[in-house]
Amino acid sequence: TQLLEQSPQFLSIQEGENLTVYCNSSSVFSSLQWYRQEPGEGPVLLVTVVTGGEVKKLKRLTFQFGDARKDSSLHITAAQPGDTGLYLCAGANRDDKIIFGKGTRLHILP
């Protein structure tokens, strides 16, 4: 069974700090996606990474796909209260099945 482990489960930091959250697996994925979910809403796709070692930037968010395509990280620079939410990673296997991690709940304190 393929699993995606996200760490940490919870993170609470002050506005302006930097942070990194992780998504790890022992399985290889053909692509990996990151979503952000705000309370009472559905997840919203932030980025898809496809190539091993790929780095994508979305304003203050930097996403990296591991060289072996088994893991990924999300780095946020100068976190703001608007970054608060549940961050989910999701990996696609060769059969196009999507596996979701359980998420990192991030709270940015003003």
- The contact set with other proteins (CB under 8 A) reads 31, 33, 35, 40-45, 48, 88, 90, 92, 96, 98, 100-103
Quote the least distance from Cβ 77 to other proteins, whole Å: 23
Quote the least distance from Cβ 16 to other proteins, whole Å: 29
Nearer CB in complex with other proteins: 64/104: 104
The first and second tokens of residue 7, run together, are 């760490």
d(CA 21, CA 10): 10
Are the C-beta atoms of residues 26 and 109 closer than 8 Å to each other?
Answer: no
Quote the least distance from Cβ 44 to other proteins, whole Å: 7
Are the C-beta atoms of residues 68 and 27 closer than 8 Å to each other?
Answer: no
Q: Which residues pair with 109 in a beta bridge?
A: 14
Are the C-beta atoms of residues 47 and 58 closer than 8 Å to each other?
Answer: yes
Nearer CB in complex with other proteins: 21/90: 90
Angle at 41 between CA 106 and CA 65, to 5 degrees: 50
Nearer CB in complex with other proteins: 89/108: 89
Nearer CB in complex with other proteins: 33/64: 33
Quote the least distance from Cβ 26 to other proteins, whole Å: 18
